[in-house]
Structure 1
């Protein structure tokens, strides 16, 4: 296994551009970005992790869509400031459902995306909880829960679970489920468990 100490990458402004290529066909799939942590996670897991400049966080490719990319080879360029990775992809590389993000010639219209990113809110919520753990905010309910300790957090998850199964009517079920998911994410973060860990377990069971 290649270690971070075995090479030198110039992370200009903290990130480097990454050209992603299909290992089997040679097709260019997308242009992404990595910071040092994203590269380390990619090398550790064997799956592509990128740094999102819009969301300002690391994400695993396919964490919402399921269209993961297994990394086969990683190359660095002659100036040590960009990467080329060759992947075996599980599903389309583009959020539009196209094989590649470069699916249209210059001037041709875009197509609407067909991937449901509604679960992205859970990842943003997880990020927020972890930020509150690192940098507490006065008056934050999340910080109140964290400060109350593991036993109380577990109790709240149990209470919310009971309220959810006792809820009557669609709107109430939606409301109580949102409460349950929030408290569950706090519980996971408090115990150093990520949604990625849970998704990995679900993926393992589906095989």
Structure 2
């Protein structure tokens, strides 16, 4: 662990808490530009897979956590000022959310081109799961989620059952979608109440694949 800490300290975090990261495939192709903070670099070093800091979502995410297009890190280089990193990776699938191999797939002035974007549906659930977790650990006045946790197991389970019934009796397509969204939310609350993460459920489903 001390060796890991020493590696992380080599980056000049005093200049900026977030540093740019150029990501290059093992064949020399530049794939993308991302960002890391100390925690993202630590997770990358610990797991061997690229983790980045999302400035828009303000959280750490593993590259490919939703799409499966992970980046296995082969080497990490640091620039002369110690405030930028270069990751040499083995890219699984594509690197760009547009479905292109690299984020740098067009010349300046060329029109946008998508070849089939990545489905980030699971990201929405992960973000919702994180909000629910925060409301459980740090209750907020006026928060419906915090109110559910305060009222306890009976209320949480009852609401989940009610939402399940709402899905079953819904007839119109739009209504089914609406009620299913409610059901998923209350399912995440139920899981959080029991200290179960969505990732554990996904792991169980993955294990059932033949």
State the TM-score, normalized to the length of structure 1. 0.82
- Judged with a 3 Å threshold, the aligned counterparts in structure 2 of structure 1 residues 4 and 110 are, in CA distance, closer, same or farther, namely same
Match of 1:109 among 105, 108, 111: 111
SS in 2 for 1:6: helix
Cα RMSD between the aligned structures? 2.7
| 1:90 CA displacement | 2.0
Distance 2:119 2:182 in 1: 22
- Matched with 1:47 is 49
- Judged with a 3 Å threshold, the aligned counterparts in structure 2 of structure 1 residues 129 and 148 are, in CA distance, closer, same or farther, namely same
State the TM-score, normalized to the length of structure 2. 0.81
The answer as to whether partners of 2:4 and 2:45 remain within 8 angstroms in 1 is no
- Matched with 1:125 is 128
The answer as to whether partners of 2:19 and 2:84 remain within 8 angstroms in 1 is yes
Deviation sequence 1:159-204 (CA, Å, 0-9, x none): 4334434443423321221111101222333344333443344445
The answer as to whether partners of 1:22 and 1:89 remain within 8 angstroms in 2 is yes
- Matched with 1:87 is 89
Larger Rg belongs to: 2
The answer as to whether partners of 1:63 and 1:196 remain within 8 angstroms in 2 is no
> May I ask how many residue pairs the two structures share in their alignment?
206
Distance 2:37 2:119 in 1: 26
- Matched with 2:4 is 4
Task: Say whether 1:164 aligns with 2:162.
Answer: no
Distance 1:94 1:43 in 2: 22
- Matched with 2:61 is 59
- Judged with a 3 Å threshold, the aligned counterparts in structure 2 of structure 1 residues 6 and 188 are, in CA distance, closer, same or farther, namely farther
| Gap regions ≥5 residues in structure 2 | none
- Matched with 1:99 is 101
Distance 1:125 1:104 in 2: 34
